[in-house]
Structure formats: structure tokens, C-alpha cells
Amino acid sequence: MNRIDATKTPLGLVGVGAMGSRMARRLLANGYKVAVYDLVRTNAEALTGDGATVPDSLAMLAGTAKVILSCLTDDDAVRRVYLQADGILAHAAPGTLILEMSTIRPRTSRELAREGAARGMHVLDVAISGSTPVMEQGMVTLLCGGESDVFAAVEPIFETIAKQYFYLGPAGSGTAAKLVVNALLGIGMQAIAEACALGESQGLERSQLMTVLSKTAVVAPAHVGKLLRAIRNDYGAQFPLRLMNKDFRLILETASDLNLELPATEAAFEVNRDALDLGPDEDFSIVIREMESRAQEESIKEGVER
């Protein structure tokens, strides 16, 4: 299978919310012809100034694009976009390459690959690891599963939107790896939240504590910026809490299917779920505030009891 040519390969991108819109702009800025579709039509129309076209339906997009990318919210959205009678698989031509980039269950990725193959299409699951600012900079990591020759053919797209990209095996391997990555991301954030609550409860000054933690080797690069923003109580969403909550559910459901116990993940999910009361569209790092609030409540309770 030949590598695609940016000047000759029409792309379709379905789902142009926070992540998808940034991906679209990078592709357009690098010479790709991109048709975009979103259930919220204004999201798609906002990209016309960057050079995107906006077809009236999924069927129209599927009928003209040679490579179709999608960045959707969950498994249900992926099934709706691809598998329904008016969806992509019903209207795309045999030979179409599909890069499904949502964070979903690996079994859904495998189902989509089977259904696509039955119609002569080639489906890769291409999970994105990185926040919206990282996508804006073209510095995300891509985790891919599916046919290795398709992976090689679409490398020009990967080079445009990512710092690095990895082929991990057959269909479902990319989304499986994403669950692994996000387990570390979510548990790590919970560990930081607990550590901050511990330090503050012992009288350490909050901003100084967080600044020092951000300079230690024990805090992962993905969490450093979260700490620095938390100093300012800035929890504006780069990765919304509701999506981390969804990913925790996927991780634990997948583990359950495998009869695998993940006690640390279960504990982190519990706090993540409770933090939804602070705002589901806040950044997932708001678990720092949740743990601080719990510590303060315990301090007040202890003072009253004394």
C-alpha cells in the first residue's frame, strides 16, 4: 500500500470538538484538503475560514474522502457514526482508509475493524495521548492498532499531527494501550492530589509545595503543568473531568472482563466520580481541590470534637 500524498488525498474528519478542531487546523495548515462533519454544525462551519469544507451529511463526506478520521466522545457515538444505515461504512467506497481516534473499548475497535473489512475498507484504531494544547502544537503521541501496511501508508498524516506514533499490533491494540496510558494518568493525578492534601495538612505552604513538587523527578511531565495551574486554582479544561471519568469506567470494565483486579484504579475512580460535583467540564486535575476539601473537612471535624 502506497503512502498517501497530502496534495492528492481528500480527507474527511468527523467530530471537530476541542480535540478534533485542533487536528483539523493542523491538517489544513499543512496542505490537506479536509471535509469536516459534526453533529453541532457550527463546530464544523467554524473551520471554513481555515479552508475546510462542510458536507451536508455523513454520507456525502464518506462518498468523497479517501481517508476518514474520527474523534468522538464514546462507543455509542462511534457505532452511530460508522454502523448505522446512514453512517460511514454504508457509504464509503471499498479501499477507504479509516483512522478511528476515539477513546473507546478495544472490543468496539475490533468490531469496527471487522465490519470495515467486510466492506473492503481498512480500519486503524489510533488513540491519542495528549491534551488539546499538545495537539495544537502537533506534539501528541499516537497509539495504533490494525493493519501494519495501512499504518505505514498514513504516516504522513501522523507526522503532521504528532510528535511520535507507535504501531502496537492488530485491531484494538491502540485503544488497549490508551486505557493503559490513561490508567497511569488518572492514578498519578490522584496520587498528586493526595500528596498535596497531606503536605498542606502538615502546614506546608500550598503554592511553594506545588512548585517544589513540579520540579521533582517523581512528577510525570503530563502532570507538571497541572500542578502549576493548580497553584492559581486554574482548573480550566484541557482534559475534562467527565472524560477522565468515562475512561476510568472503560478501564475498570475492561479489567472486569479479564477478571483482573485494579484496586488503585478503583480508588482513584471513586474520588474522580465524587469530584464531578465540582464541575464535570473542569479539568480532571480538580481532584486536587476535592482532596483539599476532604482534608479541610476532617480538620474542622477534628477541631469540633476536641
| Average pLDDT value for residue range 66-88 | 96
- Residue pLDDT, tens place only, 184-226: 999 999 999 999 999 999 999 999 999 999 999 999 999 999 9
Where do the domains of the chain lie, and which CATH numbers do they carry? 10-170 (3.40.50.720), 177-300 (1.10.1040.10)
* 305 — pLDDT class (breaks 50, 70, 90): low
**pLDDT score, position 7:** 84
**Does the structure show a pLDDT above 90 at 169?**
yes
**pLDDT score, position 76:** 96
**pLDDT score, position 304:** 54
- C-alpha grid cell, residue 56: 451536508
| Average pLDDT value for residue range 261-286 | 97
Euclidean distance between CA atoms 70 and 88, whole angstroms: 11
| Average pLDDT value for residue range 258-274 | 97
- Residue pLDDT, tens place only, 108-156: 999 999 999 999 999 999 999 998 999 999 999 999 999 999 999 999 9
How does DSSP classify residue 99?
E
Cα 285 to Cα 92, 117, 185, 244, distances in angstroms: 40, 40, 10, 10
Euclidean distance between CA atoms 198 and 252, whole angstroms: 27
**pLDDT score, position 297:** 87
| Average pLDDT value for residue range 157-177 | 98
- C-alpha grid cell, residue 58: 455523513
Name the pTM for this structure: 0.92
User: 230: Cβ–Cβ under 8 A, 6 or more apart, which residues?
Assistant: 196, 210, 285, 288, 289
**pLDDT score, position 243:** 94
**pLDDT score, position 182:** 97
Q: Contacts from 134-139 at CB under 8 Å and sequence distance 24+?
A: 135/19, 135/22, 135/23, 135/26, 135/161, 136/22, 136/25, 136/26, 138/26, 138/162, 138/163, 139/163
**Does the structure show a pLDDT above 70 at 267?**
yes
Percent of the chain surpassing pLDDT 70: 98
* 302 — pLDDT class (breaks 50, 70, 90): low
**pLDDT score, position 303:** 65
- Residue pLDDT, tens place only, 12-68: 999 999 999 999 999 999 999 999 999 999 999 999 999 999 999 999 999 999 999
